[in-house]
Structure 1
Amino acid sequence: MSSFIGIPEAALDFYEDLEVDNSKTWWAEHKHVYDESVRTPMTALTEVLAEEFGAAKLFRPHRDVRFSKDKVPYKTHQGAYVQVAPSTGWYVQVDASGLMVAGGFYASTSDSIAQFRAVVDDEVRGTELARIVADLESRGYDRGGDRLKTSPRGYDADHPRIDLLRHKSLTAGRSFGCPPWLDTPECADHVRAAWRDLTPLLEWCRQVLA
């Protein structure tokens, strides 16, 4: 029997308060809330989904501030990630605004960007990606990822898939907010359904970027 019973409202309250006082003192006083209301249910959620999608990595709550001017010590969200290929996978997150799911390829190198654009330029595979993205957008998913404001070098501005060619990473996601089912086991069903919707995008990325 699954131990996942939902994401409690206390998780959203925790991050709302953390946004007001993101200090080590506040964190130490409220770490038990993080453990009970954020980390434990998110771990249980990923375990429920692992049979179909694979084991997830739960990201650490501390920010890496070594090379950042922003020294705020803690992330104001909790994310979990299932990798299916280099820099490619499913994602789920909870923060003060509620639940969010996403998937795609999140990071890129010069070589992988060049490879991505070459495949997008291909009439068959590029058109396939355009259909996948259009289908996800029609279902209410938002397209994300880093992208150029201008045309990438070597591609004409009137290319039929110029909008996709501008991408340096490509994701699709949906914010659920705080629906009535968030704090129930039904939450896992909604994340599962969303990840299934995103699977064609991930499979396309896995095939062309791996």
Structure 2
Amino acid sequence: MSFTGFPEAALDFYDDLEIDNSKVFWEAHKGMYRDSVAAPMTALTGELADEFGEAKIFRPYRDVRFSKDKTPYKTHQGAFVAVGPATGYYVQIGAPGFRVGAGFYDADSERLARFRRAIDDDLHGAELERILATLRRKGWEIGGNRLKTAPRGWAKDHPRIELLRHRSMTVSRDYGFDEVIHTPELVDRVRVHWRETRQLLNWLTQHGT
């Protein structure tokens, strides 16, 4: 199946789901989810697989076991292409529109320690700073979960303390409601933007594994 774009119905579906996140709504509209959201996302990531690899299309159901929020369904559809442990490329569609991202989303204490040793190293740390500065100039937003203060064992005045505070590190850019998301040209747009993040992912996989 070739990707032809996400229909307007995909955005409408998530607009309505945010208002009525219930099993009754889902059962009445699961055909719209299948045809307007899941099928186009599968087609989009399928066309990118030749260069980036096979994507995991996330399930639409929330894990509510340990959450105060018991709404059963995610209000967006994401897909992830792994290049390392919890590290890779990401795309998402939801009520706010379409977005792309990349980075690492989770790390145990040993992996975080490896990242931080690389950030502390003048050569590798400076390389990461250059990569992130280039991505910022190209319009990427730097994000991720960060400590409020210095991690244990690191000085608060470390020259790269802002990077050392990261427990995860992501870059993202928002397409919003750009008309391209409704066209086949979205494949090429995502391809170009994912390529821009390749240096970052290479750094993360090199120093986190």
Task: Name the counterpart of 1:29.
Answer: 28
- In structure 1, C-alpha distance between the alignment counterparts of 2:66 and 2:150, rounded to whole Å: 31
2:15 is matched with 16
1:165 match: 164
Q: Which TM-score applies when normalising by structure 1? A: 0.97
The TM-score normalised by the length of structure 2 is: 0.98
- Aligned counterparts of 1:53 and 1:108: Cα–Cα separation in 2: 22
Q: Which runs of 5+ in 1 are unaligned?
A: none
User: 1:64 deviation in Å?
Assistant: 0.9
CA offsets, 1:102-157, max 9 Å, x none? 00010011111111111100011111001001111111110111111111222222
Match of 1:207 in 2: 206
Equivalent residue runs for 1:34-45 within 5 Å: 34-45=33-44
Q: Is the 8 A contact 1:7 1:187 kept in 2?
A: no
Amino acid at match of 2:24: T
Cα RMSD between the aligned structures? 0.9
- 1:30: Cα distance to partner? 0.3
Query: Could you report, residue by residue, the CA deviation over 1:74-122 in whole angstroms, capped at 9, with x for unpaired residues?
Result: 0000000000001100000000111100000100111111111111000
The equivalent residue for 2:175 is 176
Farther off after superposition, 20-29 or 151-160: 151-160
- TM-superposed CA distance for 1:207, in Å, is 0.6
Query: 1:122 is aligned with what amino acid?
Result: D
SS of structure 2 residue aligned to 1:175: strand
Runs ≥4 residues deviating over 4 A: none
* Number of positions where the alignment pairs a residue of Structure 1 with one of Structure 2: 209
